[in-house]
Amino acid sequence: MKARECMTPDPKSVQANDPLKTAVRLVVENRIRHLPVVLGESLVGIISDRDLKRAMPSIVAGSTAEEYQAFMEKTTIEEVMTADPLACAPDDELVDLVRQFCDKKVGAIPVVDGERLVGIVTQTDMMQAFLTMLENQ
């Protein structure tokens, strides 16, 4: 099985210079955990819900609502994302992706054709692929 067969095509993504609030909105509205970060159409990073949580100031720890809002609007995704993320090609074998998920302990791998983002393979996509294989035995 190839990456293209289990990937989510045309995933939600954010631009590197977007404010953090854009990523938070997309994660919450779409109930997803990973967003590829692009510059134009080229993959330059990835940001996860955990990256967002770690970056945000805490109102509980004393940040005011105004400081929180300012941070969300002025901080760019590029400042928080993981740059040069692990990526794969559409024709990469699923077994190789599984090894990368295990070895690198990642939750998602963007799929690129050249440098252009074309999809994403998440842990959920992998589980669905395994379920299909098991059901077809």
Which pLDDT score, from 0 to 100, does residue 137 have? 81
| Structural domain containing residue 130 | 3-135
Q: How confident is the model at residue 56 (pLDDT cuts 50, 70, 90)?
A: confident
Question: Alpha carbon of 26 to those of 52, 78, 105, 107: distances in Å?
Answer: 12, 16, 23, 17
**Confidence at residue 103, expressed as pLDDT on a 0 to 100 scale:** 95
Give the Cα separation of 129 and 108 in Å (integer).
14
The β-bridge relationship of strands 116-122 and 8-9 is antiparallel
pLDDT digit string (tens) for 106-136? 999 999 999 899 999 999 999 998 898 888 8
Q: What is the pTM of this model?
A: 0.89
Rounded Cα distance, 25 and 10, in Å: 18
- Average pLDDT score over residue span 47-72: 82
Give the model confidence (pLDDT) of 69-98 as tens digits: 888 899 999 999 999 999 999 999 999 999
Q: What DSSP letter does each residue of 66-127 carry, written as one string?
A: HHHHHHHHHSBGGGTSEES---B-TTSBHHHHHHHHHHHT-SEEEEEETTEEEEEEEHHHHH
CATH of the domain at 84: 3.10.580.10
pLDDT digits (tens, 9 = 90+) for 6-41: 999 999 999 999 999 999 999 999 999 999 999 998
Tokens matching residue 108? 């998602």
pLDDT at 99: 94
Number of domains making up the chain: 1
